[in-house]
């Protein structure tokens, strides 16, 4: 007698876990650099001035994002040509090399200028890989999703990042309890990077078990690198609008995650433990809102959510932080950051799937990755540095809220332009690209 038929839903859940597990490592390693920026600045960038040292660290953090567009074009074209599965394995390998380099580089006092140079190389490798990782995972999830539920499935790409933040915050919290400040500064901050190195082999094993998407296998024509480059050039307007669409996501994301520990500890003068607890709670909140709003946009459409949330971000980000700096406490920081988390998670739950839909199918990975990477390189990646600079120049501790408000305005303008000809007859979850793209 034949056994019971396999449960399709269970199979899809397993696929989501396999594809996002590698995304977890990519983002875990990426976030660690921002989480431990104050320690890294003293180890590799001793400038004689705490603010200058921190700025050099955040500039190095942002430099990794400048490599993302290159990764998007070259690795994105590779993924669109050879397949989603093989491409995701390659990106994982490149990210692992960058992480191992950062974890084992001796401090400045040991090897001098070679230390910050090697750290920079590690960040550039991570950025090159991450340039296509988010796009590759998002496209994979969109192509394997159940019809009518793309928003829900694609949202798990971003949700897996939140798990990475939670794990990083928990490790940081445990280290702060177990180690004295001199120990954290000397070697404790490296422990999470070592953990990231240790789980690399396991994640390689998981990713190798992925199957290629049926949608990709059914495509008869696999575009060459030259064809992909030509198509990207022909569709530059949709890539540009996609970049502005992502600006809201990437600025708000790095504000409420990577910058939060520094903002709480160095600007608001709360304890490092309090800041890490807030970061953990933000990640949990993001993890909840992303799939919930991804599922909601499958029902009501992408446009209403994108307009409402980007508009709220533009209007409320600065006033919320202004209230916080006037009433500093752990609870008030938690309340404000959870509000900003709601804005980010709800917007991004609809935005990511919308971006997979407006990019031409033949260059879906490269187009998505290029738009996302340009936004991250120009806006999000330098958010910690911009926020630190704004606070120093203006003397206004709430100034990072202005940067997030700018992101909300960019997302609002992009949404209106992308959907200006879609009309009210568009079915929920269906995006018609800008004519001529």
Say if residue 431's pLDDT is above 60. no
Distances (CA, A) of 75 to 68, 78, 95: 10, 5, 13
Pick left, alpha or beta for residue 436 (phi over 0 → left; psi -120 to 50 → alpha; otherwise beta): left
pLDDT (tens digit, 9 = 90+) per residue, 31-78?
Answer: 777 677 778 888 887 766 667 777 777 777 777 778 888 887 787 777
Tell the residue number behind the tokens 């700018």, with chain if given: 406
Domains and CATH numbers, the chain: 13-208+221-418 (1.20.1250.20)
Burial class of residue 433 (count of CB atoms within 10 Å of its CB; 0-12, 13-18, 19+): middle
Burial class of residue 330 (count of CB atoms within 10 Å of its CB; 0-12, 13-18, 19+): middle
pLDDT (tens digit, 9 = 90+) per residue, 90-148?
Answer: 877 888 888 888 888 888 888 888 888 888 888 888 888 877 777 777 777 877 777 78
Structural contact between residues 162 and 287, judged by C-beta atoms closer than 8 angstroms: yes
pLDDT (tens digit, 9 = 90+) per residue, 225-265?
Answer: 676 677 677 778 888 999 999 999 999 998 998 788 778 88
Tokens of 383: 């958010």
Say if residue 416's pLDDT is above 50. yes
Say if residue 432's pLDDT is above 50. no
Structural contact between residues 228 and 81, judged by C-beta atoms closer than 8 angstroms: yes
Mean of all residue pLDDT scores within the chain: 81
Higher pLDDT, 208 or 213: 208
pLDDT (tens digit, 9 = 90+) per residue, 397-409?
Answer: 999 999 999 999 9
Say if residue 425's pLDDT is above 50. no
Query: What's the whole-model pTM score?
Result: 0.77
Higher pLDDT, 269 or 222: 269
Give the separation between CA 213 and CA 87, rounded to whole angstroms. Answer: 12
């Amino acid at each position: 007698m034949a056994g019971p038929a396999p449960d399709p839903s269970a199979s899809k859940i397993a696929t989501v876990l396999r594809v996002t597990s590698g995304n977890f490592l990519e983002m875990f390693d990426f976030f660690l650099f921002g989480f431990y920026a104050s320690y890294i600045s003293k180890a590799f960038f001793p400038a004689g001035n705490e603010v200058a040292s921190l700025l050099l660290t955040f500039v190095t953090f942002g430099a990794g994002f400048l490599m993302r567009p290159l990764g998007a074009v070259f690795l994105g074209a590779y993924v669109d040509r050879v397949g989603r599965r093989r491409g995701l394995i390659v990106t994982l390998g490149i990210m692992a090399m960058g992480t191992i380099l950062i974890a084992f580089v001796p401090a400045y006092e040991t090897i001098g200028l070679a230390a910050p140079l090697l750290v920079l190389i590690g960040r550039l490798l991570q950025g090159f890989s991450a340039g296509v990782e988010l796009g590759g995972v998002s496209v994979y999830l969109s192509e394997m999703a159940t019809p009518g539920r793309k928003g829900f499935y694609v949202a798990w790409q971003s949700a897996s990042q939140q798990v990475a933040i939670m794990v990083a915050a928990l490790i940081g919290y445990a280290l702060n309890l177990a180690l004295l400040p001199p120990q954290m500064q000397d070697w404790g901050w490296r422990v999470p990077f070592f953990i990231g190195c240790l789980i690399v082999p396991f994640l390689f094993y998981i990713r190798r078990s992925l199957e290629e998407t049926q949608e990709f296998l059914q495509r008869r024509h696999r575009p060459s690198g030259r064809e992909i480059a030509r198509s990207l050039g022909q569709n530059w307007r949709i890539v540009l609008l996609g970049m502005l669409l992502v600006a809201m996501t990437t600025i708000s994301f790095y504000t409420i995650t990577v910058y939060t520990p520094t903002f709480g500890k160095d600007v608001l003068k709360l304890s490092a433990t309090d800041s890490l607890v807030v970061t953990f709670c933000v990640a949990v909140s993001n993890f909840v809102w992303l799939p919930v709003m991804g599922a909601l946009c499958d029902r009501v459409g992408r446009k209403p959510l994108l307009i409402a949330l980007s508009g709220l971000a533009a209007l409320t980000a600065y006033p919320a932080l202004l209230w916080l700096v006037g009433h500093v406490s752990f609870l008030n920081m938690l309340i404000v950051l959870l509000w900003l988390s709601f804005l980010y998670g709800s917007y991004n739950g609809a935005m990511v799937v919308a971006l997979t839909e407006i990019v031409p199918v033949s260059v879906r990975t490269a187009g998505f990755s290029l738009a996302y990477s340009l936004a991250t390189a120009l806006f999000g990646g330098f958010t910690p540095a911009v926020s630190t600079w704004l606070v120093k120049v203006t003397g206004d501790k709430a100034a990072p809220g202005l940067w997030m408000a700018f992101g909300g305005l960019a997302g609002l303008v992009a949404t209106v332009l992308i959907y200006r000809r879609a009309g009210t007859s568009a079915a929920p979850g269906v995006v018609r690209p800008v004519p001529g793209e």
